[in-house]
Structure 1
Amino acid sequence: MMIISRKQLAREKLEELKKGYSVYAETEEVAGYIEKELSSLDMTVHIDRTPLGCWFIPEASNCEEHTY
């Protein structure tokens, strides 16, 4: 069985957000880690909470690599 650190998973998802991609957090714990890290960054992200998880969608003005 492979054990995945939730903090590491959150860090990987945060890196995807920085690249301009939307990410999905399946648990409140991972979503909380992402939100905590986002609070220290100058980045605007729309957070869509659903009963099954949480979507983090970066605004186009934040994207480093993509143009919309």
Structure 2
Amino acid sequence: MIISGREVARAKVEKLKNGFSAFSETQEVTELIERYIKQENLNVHIDKTTLGCWFIPADKTNEHTSQ
């Protein structure tokens, strides 16, 4: 079964909108999530590591951050 990167990214953005963290192991999904975060104007901390990328909902008082 083939899973669409867009579907995975959308599902992870929905988790972020509900206050949960999300993790991406692939560059493709990471880039899609970042694009959707920007489109939705979500306040999310992005922590890129050598193993993947964490997306963590940020406090509403903080600015959107990415590294």
What TM-score bracket applies, with the shorter chain setting the length?
Answer: 0.7 to 0.9
Unaligned runs of 5+ in 1: 62-68
- Taking the aligned partners of 1:43 and 1:4, their CA distance within structure 2 comes to 25
Number of residue pairs matched by the alignment: 61
- Partner in structure 2 of residue 50 of structure 1: 49
**Structure showing greater Rg:** 1
TM-score (ref. length: structure 1): 0.82
**CA deviation digits over 1:8-66, x for unaligned, max 9?**
000000100000000000101000000001111232100000001000000143xxxxx
Q: Greater relative contact order: 1 or 2 (C-alpha under 8 angstroms, separation 6 or more)? A: 1
Unaligned runs of 5+ in 2: 61-67
After TM superposition, the structure 1 = structure 2 runs for residues 24-63 of structure 1, keeping only pairs within 5 Å, are 24-61=23-60
- Partner in structure 2 of residue 11 of structure 1: 10
Letter in 2 for 1:30: V
